[in-house]
A and B are shown apart, each in its own frame.
Chain A
Amino acid sequence: MRSTFMGLETARRGMFTQQSALNTTGHNIANASTPGYTRQRVNFTQTEPYPNVGLNKPQLPGQMGTGVEAGSVQRVRESFLDVQYRGENNKLGYWEARAESYTKMEEIMNEPSDSGLSQTMDMFWQSLQDLAVNPSNPGARSVVRQRAVAVTETFTYLASSLNGIRADLKNEITVTEKEINSLSEQINNINNQIASVEPHGLLPNDLYDERDRLIDQLSSLVNIKVDYTSSGGNASTLAEGKANITLLDANGVSLGQLVNGTGFNNLTINFNGTDESVKTVQLGTTQLDFQQFSSTGKLKAIVESYGYETSSGDVTGVYPDMLAELDNMAYMFAYQFNLQHEAGATPNQINGSTDETPAFFSDTENGAVDIENKKGMASRLQVSDQIMASLDNIATSSKENPTMGDSTNISALAEIINKPFKYGNNTESSFRNYYEVLVGGMAVDSQEAARLSANSGTLRQAVEERRMSVSSVSLDEEMTNMIQFQHAYNASARMITLQDEMLDKIINGMGTVGR
Chain B
Amino acid sequence: MRVTQGMLASNSLRNLSNSYTQMGKYQDQLSTGKKITKPSDDPVVAMKGMYYRSNLSEVEQYKRNLSESYLWMENSEAGVEHVNEALQRVRELTVQGANGTLSDSDKEAVAREIEQIKKDIMTVANTQVAGRYIFNGTNTSNPPVADGGDGAPQADLNTNSYLVEVSRGVSLKANINPDNVFSQELFDTLQGIQETLDGKGAGDLNTLLGTLDKRLDILSAERSELGARYNRLEMVEARIDQQEVIATRILSDNEDADIERVIMDLTTQESVHRAALSVGARIIQPTLMDFLR
Asked whether B168 is an interface residue with its Cβ less than 8 Å from the other chain, the reply is yes
Known: A465-B11, A469-B7, A475-B287. A404 touches B50 (CB 8 A): no
In the complex, chain B residues 167-206 whose Cβ is within 8 Å of any chain A Cβ: 168, 171
A119 at the interface (CB under 8 A from B): yes
In the complex, how many angstroms separate the beta carbon of B257 from the nearest chain A beta carbon?
14
Interface band, chain A: 35 or more
- Is the beta-carbon distance between B168 and A418 smaller than 8 angstroms? yes
Cα–Cα, bound, A122→B52 (Å): 11
The answer to whether A130 and B138 have CB atoms under 8 Å apart is no
Contacts of A480 in B (CB 8 A): 288
Nearest neighbor of A398 in chain B, beta-carbon distance: B138
CB-nearest residue of chain B to A483: B292
Which partner residue on chain A sits nearest B60 by CB separation? A126
> Does B101 lie at the interface of the complex (its beta carbon under 8 Å from any beta carbon of A)?
no
- Counting CB contacts under 8 A, is B137 at the interface? yes
Give Cα distance in the complex from A440 to B47, angstroms.
6
Decide: B40 and A130 in contact? CB cutoff 8 A. Answer: no
Whether A32 contacts B46 by the Cβ 8 Å rule is no
State whether A465 and B7 are in contact (beta carbons under 8 Å apart), knowing that A119-B53, A439-B46 are contacts in the complex. yes
- Is the CB–CB distance between B39 and A406 below 8 Å? no
Known contacts A118-B50, A473-B6; A112 and B39 CB within 8 A of each other: yes
| Complex contact A469–B1 (CB within 8 A) | yes
Q: Is B20 an interface residue (CB 8 A)?
A: no
Residue of A nearest to B291 (CB): A479
Chain B contacts for A450, CB-based, 8 A = 40
With A403-B140, A405-B132, A480-B288 in contact, is A469–B3 under 8 Å at CB? Answer: yes
Bound-state Cα–Cα, A263 to B137, Å = 88
A29 vs chain B, min Cβ distance (A): 10
Given the contacts A403-B139, A468-B4, A440 and B46 also touching, CB distance less than 8 Å: yes
Asked whether B138 lies within 8 Å of A443 as measured between CB atoms, the reply is no
Which residue of chain B has its CB nearest to the CB of A406?
B138
A436-B51, A468-B10 known; A405 vs B39 contact (CB < 8 Å)? no
Cross-chain contact B138 with A403 (CB below 8 angstroms): yes
Annotate A405-432 by CB proximity to B: 1 below 8 A, 0 otherwise: 1111001001000100000000000001
Instruction: Tell me whether B123 is interfacial, beta carbon within 8 Å.
Output: no
Bound complex: CA A468 to CA B8 (Å): 10
**Chain B CB within 10 A, most for which of A102, A350, A468:** A468
Given the known interface contacts A136-B132, A411-B165, the answer about A472 and B4 at a Cβ–Cβ threshold of 8 Å is: yes
Contacts of A397 in B (CB 8 A): 138
Known: A32-B6, A129-B61, A443-B43. A136 touches B50 (CB 8 A): no
Is A125 an interface position by the 8 A CB rule?
Answer: yes
Q: Which residues of A contact B46 (CB under 8 A)?
A: 111-112, 439-440, 443
B263 within 8 A of A: no
- Assuming the A-B contacts A133-B68, A470-B2, are A476 and B287 also in contact, with contact meaning beta carbons closer than 8 angstroms in the complex? yes
The yes or no answer to A461 lying at the interface (CB within 8 A) is yes
CB neighbours of A473 from chain B (8 A) = 4-6
CB of A59, distance to nearest CB on chain B (Å): 49
Distance A473 CA – B7 CA, assembled complex (angstroms): 10
**B130 CB to nearest A CB, Å:** 7
Say whether B140 contacts A443, CB under 8 Å: no
Number of residues on chain B facing chain A (CB within 8 A): 55
Interchain CB contact under 8 A, A411 and B171: yes
Q: B14 in the interface, Cβ–Cβ < 8 Å? A: yes
CB atoms of B39 and A443 under 8 A apart: yes
In the complex, what residues of B have CB within 8 A of residue A102's CB? 40
Contacts of B140 in A (CB 8 A): 135-136, 403-405
Residue of B with least CB distance to A414: B165
| Contacting pair B54 A403 (CB below 8 A) | no
C-alpha gap A414/B140 in the complex (Å): 21
Contacting residues, chain A, for B62 (C-beta < 8 A): 129
The answer, yes or no, to whether B162 is at the interface (CB within 8 Å) is yes
Q: Is A72 an interface residue, CB under 8 A from the partner?
A: no
> In whole angstroms, how far apart are the Cα atoms of A483 and B293 in the complex?
11
B224 at the interface (CB under 8 A from A): no
Q: Shortest distance in angstroms between A332's beta carbon and chain B's nearest beta carbon?
A: 18
Contact with A along B1-42 (1 / 0, CB 8 A): 111111100110010000000000000000000000011111
| Residue interface bits B100-136, CB-to-A below 8 A is 1, else 0 | 0000000000000000000000000000001110001
Distance of A479 Cα from B137 Cα, bound (Å): 100
Cα–Cα distance between A129 and B288 once the two chains are bound (Å):
79
Within 8 Å of chain B (Cβ to Cβ): is A132?
A: yes
Q: Does A446 contact B (CB under 8 A)?
A: yes
B159 nearest CB across to chain A (Å): 10
For residue A461, which residue of chain B has the nearest CB?
B14
Other 20 A-B pairs with CB < 8 A, given A350-B141, A469-B2, A469-B4 = A106-B38, A126-B60, A129-B61, A129-B62, A404-B140, A406-B138, A406-B160, A432-B54, A437-B47, A439-B46, A443-B39, A443-B40, A443-B46, A447-B42, A447-B43, A466-B1, A468-B6, A469-B1, A473-B5, A474-B3
Binding site for B on A (CB under 8 A): 32-33, 102-103, 106-107, 109, 111-112, 118-119, 122-123, 125-126, 129-130, 132-137, 350, 397, 401, 403-408, 411, 414, 418, 432, 435-437, 439-440, 442-444, 446-447, 450, 461, 464-466, 468-470, 472-477, 479-480, 483
Query: When A and B form their complex, which 8 residue pairs have the shortest distance between CB atoms, in order from nearest?
Result: A405-B140, A443-B39, A443-B43, A446-B40, A405-B138, A112-B49, A406-B138, A404-B141
